[in-house]
Amino acid sequence: MALVLQLIVITYNHFSGYHELHSFTEFVLRVIRGIFYSMIAGFAIAYPDLIVIHFLNKKFQWSKGALKRSAIQFTLMLLIAITVSTLLTTFAHWISSYPQGLQNVIFNNALIYCVVNAFFMSIIEAWIYLDESQREKARAEKLQQELIMEAANRAMYEAQIKIEEEKNKYAQQLIDQEKKLNQHLEEEIKKREVITQQLNEKREQLNSILTNLAGAAYRCYFDEHYTMKYISEKIYEISGYHASEFIDNTEITFSKIIHPDDQELCRKSIEEATKEKRNYEFEYRIIHKNGQVVWVNENGKGIYNGGEELTYLDGIIIDITRRKEAEFAAAESERNYKELTDLLPQPIYELDLDGNILFLNGSCKEFLGIEMPEDSNVKISALDYMVKEDVQRVQENIKKSNQAYLVSPNEYTMKRPDGSSSPVLIYGSSIIRNNKVVGRRGIIVDISERKKQEEKLLKAKEELERINNTLEQSVAERTKQLTEANTQLLKLQKENLQSQFEVLKQQVNPHFLFNSLNVLTSLIKVDPDLAESFTERLSKVYRYVLENKEKDLVNLSTELEFLNAYLFLLEIRFMKKLFIDIRIDKSYYDYQILPIAIQLIIENAIKHNTFSKVQPLKIEIFVDDKLRLNIVNNLNERETKFVSTGVGLENINRRYALVSDQKPVFKKSKEHFIAKLPLLKSEKNETE
């Protein structure tokens, strides 16, 4: 490298004009100086280049990042060349100044050194790669020789082992043959013992499984007698006959215990299934050994020989008597429920989520003129019986009810069979089954009479206004007209109070009946016997309401009989969340009271208070020394107030005003709400 650099520097200096050679001595000095500078430059460039190339070979391989390595290598090469040329040129200029400027000399020398350094770096890198490849080649040849020697030694060792193994194997074969001959008989015996034990265990497992099944598993022939090839002992619990009595018709045939009315059903069901090569399932009755009728469910399929000829019937027979009895009881309760609703004078309905009619009682069918179709797929929409103006409002309320929102009673106008329309008040709430809203049920109250009374009041008001506008007439005539108007107004006010009384009765009846029907619907499937008792009490309560709705007063004893039946319904409805303590001496039984007044106050307490089994609602009923019936309940008012319908305690005040000068008292303390209803003397009390 130094020699090449010397030749380049001498040649360059000679022809560049830095110094003119005037004598041989100057030429010798320049050669010596060039050799000296060239050696310094060669070592100053070569060692940094070697370090850079080693570093780049470790960090940046050509195969992974050639562009990145080239940029780094080119940059470092320029840096090394420029640094060395600058230092060396500056040193040479300090010793012997050049005739040209130092900057020009440094720039020219830097160009030369960059070219030379690029060439040197390429040579060094090629030499490094050549040296490494030769080393790797020598290492590979050495490793190959070692592997060949190792393979040869292993082959000789394996050959020796194989020869020994062949010898041992032949000897072992002779020994094994002798052992096999001696152990063959023992193995056969052990195998048979194991197979026998496994068969016994599997037989026991199968018997245990069949015994623990919900029904009796069987295999039989499809013949006249259903001849049993096998049937599990579970059949004894179902029929009273042991399985052994049916096998091969030993003592009785299975066909004999099938109820005569179901013989054809069984055979027809099996024949249809086997022809279509599908499973069969049907329900029928059998005659128990003790003579009782047992309902069973049979599920099975045919077994075919070669896929064509029917060989056996395999299946299972399950006792479903309890389920059938529950279904019959539920059907009976459902029938009683519908019969009860048909006896009620008020229209009752049930709708699905889309507003289609599911059920109407007799009164509702008569009110709307509807005959329910026999085909359940034919739908009748309740919206068809609403006037056009109310359809959208009905749809919105049905949507709210379907989302389990509390919907207050609403007034609508419905179409009648004769083409007329009738104003109605509709009470209803969601039908919830399995915590899911599935429809809506409610009661329809005809308020045509109330509307007529309102129209009469409006006409009376107009008449009074007309009379007042004619005050210019004579005093006598005006006085006469005013007297007649006042008389008519008093009469209309009394009629209005009576009308409000009737409205109150109509409001109480739907609320009471509606809540009771909801409870009854839940009891029908849970406890049919309790549902039957509930129905009887409900019928008794509602009969009392119907019989006394025209009366202004009833005896206290009669009201208490009604209250006892009503309390039974509340106990079922609230399940130990409500306690009512009645302490009334029989000496007060002949006194009179407003009908349903006690029930209204109890419903008012239930409506406005929250209670539970931990904090029950307690109501006390007793007579004080002023002949007033006290109804006292503890207060735990609800956070969310119910929407008032406009009738309540004020109506009781007005009803008392119609029959007596005595007024009821309603007051509230911090802990109790107290209602005091005057007990009125009957004709019997007055005579005594």
57 and 131 belong to one structural domain: yes
Which of 275-289, 402-416, 490-504, 629-643 is the most confident on average? 275-289
Q: What is the pTM of this model?
A: 0.40
Give helix 62-95 / helix 102-212 axis angle, nearest 10°.
160
In this prediction, residue 354 carries a pLDDT of 85
Region of 362 on the Ramachandran plot (φ > 0 left; ψ -120 to 50 alpha; else beta): alpha
Please answer whether residues 326 and 299 qualify as being in contact, where contact means their C-beta atoms are separated by less than 8 angstroms.
no
Q: Which long-range contacts link 324-332 to residues 24+ away (Cβ below 8 Å)? A: 324/283, 324/295, 326/528, 329/528, 330/524, 330/525, 330/528, 332/528
% of the chain beyond a pLDDT of 90: 19
Checking if the pLDDT of 297 tops 70, the result is yes
- Residues 376-434: tens digit of each pLDDT: 788 888 888 888 888 888 888 878 776 655 556 788 888 888 888 889 888 877 777 77
CATH number at residue 599: 3.30.565.10
Phi/psi for 603 (5° steps) reads: -60, -35
CA angle 451, 453, 454 (to 5 degrees): 65
Checking if the pLDDT of 95 tops 50, the result is yes
d(CA 303, CA 301): 7
Is 466 or 635 the better-scoring residue by pLDDT?
A: 635
Please answer whether residues 631 and 672 qualify as being in contact, where contact means their C-beta atoms are separated by less than 8 angstroms.
no
d(CA 584, CA 591): 12
Query: Hey, what's the torsion of the CAs at 161, 167, 170, 171, to 10 degrees?
Result: -120
For 91-156, the three-class secondary structure string (H helix, E strand, C coil) is HHHHHCCCCCCHHHHHHHHHHHHHHHHHHHHHHHHHHHHHHHHHHHHHHHHHHHHHHHHHHHHHHH
Is 164 or 255 the better-scoring residue by pLDDT?
A: 255
Residue 224 lies in a domain: yes
Residue 11 lies in a domain: yes
Q: If you search the block for the tokens 């208490």, which residue do you land on?
A: 560
| Domain finish residue from 149, 164, 199 | 149
In this prediction, residue 289 carries a pLDDT of 92
Residue 315 lies in a domain: yes
Least confident range from 115-129, 252-266, 539-553, 583-597: namely 115-129
220 and 82 belong to one structural domain: no
Residue 240 lies in a domain: yes
| Domain finish residue from 149, 167, 193 | 149
- Residues 450-477: tens digit of each pLDDT: 788 878 878 877 777 777 666 555 556 6
Please provide the DSSP assignment of 580-592 as one string.
EEEE--GGGTTSE
226 and 125 belong to one structural domain: no
Residue 472 lies in a domain: no
Please answer whether residues 683 and 591 qualify as being in contact, where contact means their C-beta atoms are separated by less than 8 angstroms.
no
301 and 219 belong to one structural domain: yes
d(CA 54, CA 134): 17
Mean pLDDT of 294-311: 88
6 and 135 belong to one structural domain: yes
Mean pLDDT of 238-253: 92
Region of 80 on the Ramachandran plot (φ > 0 left; ψ -120 to 50 alpha; else beta): alpha
Residue 622 lies in a domain: yes
Give helix 62-95 / helix 24-59 axis angle, nearest 10°.
150
> In a 3-state reduction of DSSP, which class is residue 62?
helix
145 and 225 belong to one structural domain: no
Q: C-alpha 406: how far from its chain's center?
A: 23
d(CA 415, CA 148): 110
13 and 97 belong to one structural domain: yes
Region of 226 on the Ramachandran plot (φ > 0 left; ψ -120 to 50 alpha; else beta): left
Residue 638 lies in a domain: yes
In this prediction, residue 629 carries a pLDDT of 94
Structural domain including 675 reads 552-688
Please answer whether residues 419 and 442 qualify as being in contact, where contact means their C-beta atoms are separated by less than 8 angstroms.
no
Please classify residue 16 by burial: count the beta carbons closer than 10 Å to its beta carbon, then call 0-12 exposed, 13-18 middle and 19+ buried: middle
| Domain finish residue from 287, 319, 351 | 319
d(CA 188, CA 508): 91
131 and 257 belong to one structural domain: no
117 and 225 belong to one structural domain: no
Residue 494 lies in a domain: no
141 and 7 belong to one structural domain: yes
Number of domains in the chain: 3
Please answer whether residues 318 and 331 qualify as being in contact, where contact means their C-beta atoms are separated by less than 8 angstroms.
no
